[in-house]
A and B are shown apart, each in its own frame.
Chain A
Amino acid sequence: MFRVILYSLWKWSRLIILLGAVAAFVLPILSVQGASSDAVNPLTAGELLRSIQSWGVLYPVLAAALGLLVAIATWAPDHRGRHVHALSLPLPRWRYAMLRFGSGSLLLTAPMLALLLGAVLATRLAALPAGLQGYPIALALRFALAVAVAYAVFFAVSAGTSRTAGLVLASIGAVILVQVLATAAGTDLNLLGPLQNALLNWPGPLAIFTGRWMLIDV
């Protein structure tokens, strides 16, 4: 059963996995382009770190994008077929959902491994200034965790009904609308800032996406 579910998900999401894996491999390599011993104007340690940090913004973006797209690909066929095929299968619904989740997680290991490979190659072949070192494994682990969390969250959202999705979107929209009206009315009400801090900064549940994603650091 798992192989069948895995193969069907592979067919729906192979382009996403391919592009995601290539992007994950390429990102660390592009970020170390300044660390060259042959460059006309080699970057100083501080400049290299700033460059690495700028590129580092793309890791959580890629992780979130992969999680979102694979989660959508996981459930989209079921939504289109109104879950008839899924409901007719002779296994408990929760088990079916877990098999779906497992197959998506397995496919997502490809970009994770691609990032690990790219990070190891980049740090081994780059000429690092004295005092700096590479963190390929730590970066790959954090990326893997971010992909897993993004996939789990979007998996839950995609698994819901249209009404659920509508409720979620309506809630977000309501918060934004209240903020816009409050700002236009000249009040000091600030909803988005504290919400952002609560979610994205420590100790928020999404804090893993923020912070410094440094392939090379002191």
Chain B
Amino acid sequence: MARAVRWWVVTATVACVGVAIVYLPPRGEPAHKSLFAQFETPTPYRLRVQELATKWRAATVELQLLAYREQLRPELEHRRALDIAPPAVLFVGRDTLSQPARNLVAAALDTVWTRLRLGVTKISVGVVIQVGRPLVEPLGPSGAEGWTQTYLLPDSTDRTTCIALLPLSTIWGAGRSLVEPHPAFNATLVSFLQNGLGPCAYYAAFGAPGRSIARWMGARRFDLALYPWWDRPPRDGPFDWLITSLDARKNPWFWLEAHRHPTTAVACLGGRAAACRSSVLAGSEASKPPPHIVSTSRWWQGQLLAGADRYFADAVRTIGRDRFHRFWNSEDPVDTALTAALRRPIGEWTREWQARLVPPIRLGPASRPSDTLLSLMLAAAALGFVAVTVARREVR
């Protein structure tokens, strides 16, 4: 009997060892090839062309924003002199809006400013609404780049003005309502303008950030201070689909969305405080001076922290404006200043914030204790059923 069993064990062992020799360590082409392996990589010349195009667009946008700032300067100085709180608005672009529509935009901006409890601020904000399709460039169409919101932050030549450039389409979204014969006040327009204020709202509310905070934000392209939503409750915002898509209860394919984030962000979604801390503090060692132009191009791709766009807004709401103001203006290192403001370890606070936003996802293959218990109960029930019924069997 033992000899018979031995041969089977030997056969299994030989088969397993053979597989291990062939496939371990993993080498050669991966089994799951990337789709992009089928596409030809651009030549170095073509990559250089793309790099030059990006630099040209950046320089052109900066020139445009500087020009808009000069155009808005008289209006902004007039408002400062008369203590008029809401931002100045400038309409540019190939399409035009009727006067009622322009008045509506100004009224909506006033509503937003009041909602954010911003009065007359040290740093004035100018909003440039670019109506219609982006201008055709000599470089050809820039695709989605032409529709991104861009900000000119206060710099050495003007420390008291922040300019927000908001492209507005008249075919979809908030702009659609503005080209109707009788444009009406609507929530979509208000949300568009509030989102559009972006980092400028933080500058207006809390002034210029401390040097280390500014470098940190610059390295991260202000992803944590993208939307000034401190007036609205958590989980409320136009990009809620991003958060809903990460909720395993609402989206069975949540892991597809989750794995588009870096591993530290996924670990934070899984409830690991150390990873949350790393995600928040990424870029805090930056020593380069912060950029004075910030673009929101494709901000949702590669977010270092899921839902990062509302992190500071939720912090303002939770810890209060005063504490956040002290943090924002602090000259201390980032982790020190943030820990002092939150009055808790950054990782812990962020983990709880993340859990309020999205239920923690399960990492690894371990099953829930409840699943294990239910399965064991099912197995026990099955065995109990067999034990009870098997005694009743008869031979006929």
Within A162-218, which residues are at the interface with B (CB < 8 Å)? 202-208, 211-215, 217-218
Kindly list chain B residues whose C-beta atoms are within 8 Å of the C-beta of A33.
23, 26, 28, 30-31
Q: Given A18-B12, A98-B387, A215-B365, are A205 and B378 also a contact pair (CB < 8 Å)?
A: yes
- Let me know if A153 and B27 touch, CB within 8 A: no
- Let me know if A93 and B391 touch, CB within 8 A: yes
- Let me know if B365 and A135 touch, CB within 8 A: yes
- Let me know if B30 and A51 touch, CB within 8 A: yes
Interface size class of B (residues with CB under 8 A): 35 or more
- Let me know if B8 and A25 touch, CB within 8 A: no
Residue on B nearest A139 in the bound complex, by CB:
B365
- Let me know if A211 and B367 touch, CB within 8 A: yes
- Let me know if B25 and A125 touch, CB within 8 A: yes
- Let me know if B262 and A138 touch, CB within 8 A: no
A42 to B19, CA, bound (A): 22
Residue on A nearest B396 in the bound complex, by CB:
A82
Choose the segment among B94-102, B186-194, B369-377 that binds chain A (4+ C-beta atoms closer than 8 Å).
Answer: B369-377
- Let me know if B30 and A39 touch, CB within 8 A: yes
Within B20-40, which residues are at the interface with A (CB < 8 Å)? 20, 23-34, 37
Q: Which of B8, B37, B256, B393 has the most CB of A within 10 A?
A: B393
- Let me know if A203 and B370 touch, CB within 8 A: yes
| B395 in contact (CB, < 8 A) | yes
Q: Which of B259, B262, B364 has the most CB of A within 10 A?
A: B364
A152 to B390, CA, bound (A): 14
Residue on B nearest A43 in the bound complex, by CB:
B30
A38 to B26, CA, bound (A): 8
Kindly list chain B residues whose C-beta atoms are within 8 Å of the C-beta of A127.
25-26
A206 to B37, CA, bound (A): 39
Kindly list chain A residues whose C-beta atoms are within 8 Å of the C-beta of B389.
159-160
Choose the segment among B104-112, B119-127, B264-272 that binds chain A (4+ C-beta atoms closer than 8 Å).
Answer: B264-272
- Let me know if A36 and B363 touch, CB within 8 A: no
Shortest distance in angstroms between B139's beta carbon and chain A's nearest beta carbon?
30
A139 to B270, CA, bound (A): 18
Shortest distance in angstroms between B29's beta carbon and chain A's nearest beta carbon?
6
- Let me know if B366 and A202 touch, CB within 8 A: no
Partner of B375, one of A41, A110, A135, A206: A206
- Let me know if A156 and B19 touch, CB within 8 A: no
Q: Given A38-B27, A132-B263, A153-B378, are A212 and B386 also a contact pair (CB < 8 Å)?
A: no
Shortest distance in angstroms between A213's beta carbon and chain B's nearest beta carbon?
5
Contact with B along A39-78 (1 / 0, CB 8 A): 1111101110111011010000000000000000000000
Shortest distance in angstroms between A205's beta carbon and chain B's nearest beta carbon?
4
In this complex, how many residues of chain A approach chain B with their Cβ under 8 Å: the count is: 85
Residue on B nearest A205 in the bound complex, by CB:
B378
Kindly list chain B residues whose C-beta atoms are within 8 Å of the C-beta of A49.
255, 259
- Let me know if B28 and A36 touch, CB within 8 A: yes
A54 to B255, CA, bound (A): 12
A202 to B369, CA, bound (A): 11
Kindly list chain B residues whose C-beta atoms are within 8 Å of the C-beta of A35.
26, 30
Kindly list chain B residues whose C-beta atoms are within 8 Å of the C-beta of A42.
30
A43 to B363, CA, bound (A): 20
| B356 in contact (CB, < 8 A) | no
A39 to B32, CA, bound (A): 12
- Let me know if A7 and B1 touch, CB within 8 A: yes
Shortest distance in angstroms between A17's beta carbon and chain B's nearest beta carbon?
8
Kindly list chain B residues whose C-beta atoms are within 8 Å of the C-beta of A122.
24
A112 to B15, CA, bound (A): 16
Within B159-192, which residues are at the interface with A (CB < 8 Å)? none
Residue on A nearest B364 in the bound complex, by CB:
A135
Q: Given A33-B23, A45-B263, A138-B364, are A145 and B393 also a contact pair (CB < 8 Å)?
A: no
Contact with B along A105-141 (1 / 0, CB 8 A): 0000010001001100110011101111001001101
A213 to B364, CA, bound (A): 7
- Let me know if A205 and B19 touch, CB within 8 A: no
Shortest distance in angstroms between A14's beta carbon and chain B's nearest beta carbon?
5
- Let me know if B26 and A126 touch, CB within 8 A: yes
Shortest distance in angstroms between B282's beta carbon and chain A's nearest beta carbon?
12
A160 to B389, CA, bound (A): 8
- Let me know if A97 and B365 touch, CB within 8 A: no
- Let me know if B259 and A46 touch, CB within 8 A: yes
| B55 in contact (CB, < 8 A) | no
Contact with A along B349-393 (1 / 0, CB 8 A): 000000000000011111110111011111110110111111101
Partner of B390, one of A10, A93, A118, A214: A93
Kindly list chain A residues whose C-beta atoms are within 8 Å of the C-beta of B386.
97, 101, 155-156, 159
Within A1-40, which residues are at the interface with B (CB < 8 Å)? 7, 10, 14, 17-18, 21-22, 25-26, 29-30, 32-36, 38-40
- Let me know if B19 and A29 touch, CB within 8 A: yes
Partner of A149, one of B15, B37, B366, B378: B378
What 17 new A-B contacts, CB under 8 Å, besides A29-B23, A43-B34?
A: A25-B16, A26-B16, A50-B32, A51-B30, A54-B32, A83-B393, A135-B366, A145-B367, A159-B389, A204-B374, A205-B375, A205-B377, A205-B378, A208-B372, A211-B371, A212-B365, A218-B363
Shortest 10 CB-CB contacts between residues of A and residues of B: A131-B263, A34-B30, A152-B379, A156-B382, A51-B32, A125-B25, A205-B378, A138-B366, A94-B387, A36-B26
Q: Which residues of B contact A (CB under 8 A)?
A: 1, 5, 8, 11-12, 15-16, 19-20, 23-34, 37, 255-256, 259-260, 262-264, 266-267, 270, 362-368, 370-372, 374-380, 382-383, 385-391, 393, 395
